[in-house]
Amino acid sequence: MKAEPNFFDKVYGVVKQIPYGRVTSYGAIARYLGSSGSSRMVGWALNNSHNLEDIPAQRVVNRLGMLTGKHHFGGTTAMQQLLESEGVEVKENQVQNFKELFWDPAKEL
């Protein structure tokens, strides 16, 4: 088996590298991987990340900073609680200061 980094694995790698108290968007990751149009696959990959605990998927939101995937955290405000626990202000399922907290892998990496 080749240790070839697949799209999904790449997503995990990037998400795991997201610094504390920082957030990023699906499109940013997809773009970093070279598949700017496949932003959906990023979400799909995060969905698979449910098996992994090293994937801070709560730091990954859509381009609007909205916690679109909070329903997948198995709870209601679980995702928001996690983000707020890191110092990320969340209001109405939306990340406040998203622009400042935004961590672009293509730019930071």
Partner DNA sequence: ATTCTGACGTGGG
Partner DNA sequence: CCCCACGCCAGAA
Q: Which residues bind DNA (CB under 7 A)?
A: 25-28, 30, 35-44, 46-47, 49-50, 57, 60, 62-64, 68-73, 79
Smallest gap from residue 57 Cβ to DNA (A): 4
Smallest gap from residue 3 Cβ to DNA (A): 18
**β-pairing, 94-95 with 90-91?**
antiparallel
Q: In whole angstroms, what is the distance from residue 41 CA to residue 90 CA?
A: 25
Nearer to DNA, 47 or 87 (CB): 47
Nearer to DNA, 10 or 25 (CB): 25
> What is the 8-class DSSP label of residue 4?
-
Smallest gap from residue 27 Cβ to DNA (A): 3
Which residues are CB-neighbours of 40 under 8 A, at least 6 positions away? 26
H helix intervals, 1-109: 7-16, 26-33, 39-48, 78-86, 98-101, 105-108
Smallest gap from residue 26 Cβ to DNA (A): 4
Nearer to DNA, 31 or 87 (CB): 31
Nearer to DNA, 21 or 47 (CB): 47
**β-pairing, 24-25 with 60-61?**
parallel
